[in-house]
């Protein structure tokens, strides 16, 4: 009897262990499923790319400007070299490179001591000549009265008239000398002929400068221009008013320019023609910087995207476009390059019928995105 009881107890213990093991396995399976679902949710969130408006380019047909490569150095359209007009010791020069000056502002002075003395000397000569005129005038008036009364001959009157004319001529010569002396005094004050900035300071206070000695250079950066040489074969296609897109050394920001003037003469030797491109001033532009770019001489219409939006990390170039909130890749063929909307564009074509105007493409700012990645747009808070 005791044997059967023992067997029953063992059976019950095994049955209880089996039920516990089943519950444990079922619980582990539920936990694993929950963990996997959470991981998939996290992975889906992580694979969702958030885009801003600047990351999207809407494909459309553009007129691409093509043309000639041009290059040159920026220089101010309006500049002036302030030079000494008279010899003397330089004084009161306080301006240095980078300082702003206004038109008519005093830049420096030449010691006026010598020129003021010459002006006083010329003034005294004018006064002396005027006194001689007055004496000759009185003598002529007296002789005129005596001739009328018959006391002297007309010859004496003619002599006094000649003396009066000579005195007046001497007076006029003295006045002219005084004007020259005054001009020399005025020339000791050096003024800015235009508004701008000091580009060079070429002399120092205390130096004795000669006439035409360079003191400072002033440049007006409000209007800049580029002098570019165009080959003779292409010069006939250049017209005043044509636009150009230039890039500055050390910067990727494009600079808009247009043809202002065309030199009527070809250069000796190379036979190239100089053209002058006007550039609107911006804070980063400086005289002397080297720029290069394209001068638009022809225009072509095509479906175009920014060159930077075309990816080349696969055997064939492709673009990334958005299809129902997912990123897709489309292989494209590259066509003509040109300038439009202030940047370098390239025409594209594809055998895919979905390539058409209105297609939303990812720009270079979004980088390379894996195909199938979900996207959403940044919500702008009011």
Structure tokens of 36? 């996997």
Asked whether residue 320 is domain-assigned, the answer is yes
Q: Are residues 234 and 325 in the same domain?
A: no
Q: Are residues 110 and 178 in the same domain?
A: yes
Blockwise average pLDDT, block size 10, the chain, 382 residues? 60 63 66 56 56 83 81 91 95 94 95 94 94 89 80 77 90 94 95 94 94 95 91 85 83 83 89 91 84 81 86 88 86 82 82 83 83 74 40
Q: Are residues 54 and 105 in the same domain?
A: no
Residue 287: count of CB within 10 angstroms of its CB? 16
Number of structural domains (the chain) is 4
Q: Are residues 307 and 333 in the same domain?
A: yes
Asked whether residue 382 is domain-assigned, the answer is no
**pTM for the complete prediction?**
0.59
Q: Are residues 292 and 320 in the same domain?
A: no
pLDDT at 9: 63
- Strand order across the 208-209 sheet: 189-191, 106-110, 88-91, 208-209
Q: Are residues 18 and 57 in the same domain?
A: no
Termini Cα distance of the chain = 87
What is the spatial distance between Cα 373 and Cα 95, in angstroms, rounded to a whole number?
61
Structure tokens of 305? 């995207």
Asked whether residue 210 is domain-assigned, the answer is no
Asked whether residue 346 is domain-assigned, the answer is yes
Q: Are residues 225 and 177 in the same domain?
A: no
What is the spatial distance between Cα 202 and Cα 108, in angstroms, rounded to a whole number?
12
Query: Among 298, 314, 343, where does a domain finish?
Result: 298
Q: Are residues 187 and 234 in the same domain?
A: no
What is the Cα 198 distance to its own chain's centre? Answer: 18
pLDDT at 305: 87
Asked whether residue 347 is domain-assigned, the answer is yes
- Give the residue numbers spanning the domain of 330: 49-64+301-377
Torsional sign, CA 50, 53, 54, 59: positive
Q: Are residues 247 and 307 in the same domain?
A: no
Q: Are residues 153 and 112 in the same domain?
A: yes
What is the spatial distance between Cα 117 and Cα 124, in angstroms, rounded to a whole number?
11
E strands along 27-141, which residues? 48-51, 56-58, 60-83, 88-91, 100-101, 106-110
Asked whether residue 372 is domain-assigned, the answer is yes
Q: Dihedral (C-alpha) 168, 170, 171, 176: value to the nearest 10 degrees?
A: 130
What is the spatial distance between Cα 148 and Cα 309, in angstroms, rounded to a whole number?
107
Closest to 348 in 3D by CA, of 59, 12, 56, 48: 59
Asked whether residue 205 is domain-assigned, the answer is no
Q: Are residues 37 and 58 in the same domain?
A: no
pLDDT at 181: 95
Query: Among 263, 298, 333, where does a domain finish?
Result: 298
Buried b / exposed e across 351-368, counting CB within 10 Å, b at 16+?
eeeebeeebebbbeebee
Contact 64, 347 (CB under 8 A): yes
What is the Cα 114 distance to its own chain's centre? Answer: 46
* Backbone conformation region of residue 146, classed left if phi is above 0, alpha if psi is from -120 to 50, else beta: alpha
What is the spatial distance between Cα 74 and Cα 21, in angstroms, rounded to a whole number?
85
């Amino acid at each position: 009897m005791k044997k059967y009881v023992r067997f029953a107890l063992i059976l019950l213990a095994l049955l209880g262990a089996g039920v516990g093991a089943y519950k444990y396995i079922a619980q582990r399976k539920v936990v694993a499923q929950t963990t996997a679902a959470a991981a998939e949710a996290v992975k889906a969130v992580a694979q969702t790319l958030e885009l801003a408006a600047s990351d999207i380019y809407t494909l459309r047909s553009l007129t691409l400007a093509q043309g000639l490569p041009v290059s040159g150095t920026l220089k101010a359209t309006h500049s002036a070299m302030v030079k000494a007009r008279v010899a003397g010791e330089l004084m009161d020069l306080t301006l240095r490179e980078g300082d702003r000056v206004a038109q008519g502002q005093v830049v420096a002075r030449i010691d006026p001591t010598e020129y003021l003395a010459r002006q006083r000397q010329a003034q005294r000569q004018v006064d002396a000549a005027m006194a001689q005129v007055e004496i000759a005038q009185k003598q002529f008036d007296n002789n005129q009265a005596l001739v009328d009364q018959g006391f002297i001959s007309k010859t004496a009157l003619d002599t006094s008239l000649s003396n009066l004319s000579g005195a007046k001529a001497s007076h006029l010569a003295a006045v002219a000398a005084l004007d020259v002396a005054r001009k020399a005094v005025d020339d000791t004050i050096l003024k800015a002929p235009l508004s701008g900035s000091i580009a060079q300071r070429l002399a120092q206070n205390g130096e004795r400068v000669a006439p035409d000695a360079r003191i400072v250079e002033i440049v007006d950066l409000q209007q800049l221009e580029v002098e570019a040489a165009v080959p003779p074969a292409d010069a006939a296609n250049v017209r005043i008013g044509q636009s150009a897109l230039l890039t500055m050394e050390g910067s990727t920001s494009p600079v808009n320019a247009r043809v202002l003037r065309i030199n009527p003469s070809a250069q000796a030797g190379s036979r190239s023609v100089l053209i002058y491109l006007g550039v609107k001033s911006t804070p980063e532009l400086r005289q002397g910087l080297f720029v290069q770019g394209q001068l638009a001489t022809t225009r072509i219409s095509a479906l175009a995207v920014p060159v930077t939006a075309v990816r080349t990390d696969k055997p064939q170039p492709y673009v990334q476009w958005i299809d129902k909130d997912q990123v897709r890749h489309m292989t494209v063929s590259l066509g003509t390059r040109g300038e439009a909307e202030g940047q370098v564009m390239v025409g594209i074509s594809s055998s895919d019928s979905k390539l058409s105007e209105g297609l939303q493409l990812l720009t270079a700012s979004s980088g390379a995105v894996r195909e199938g990645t979900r996207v959403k747009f940044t919500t702008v808070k009011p």
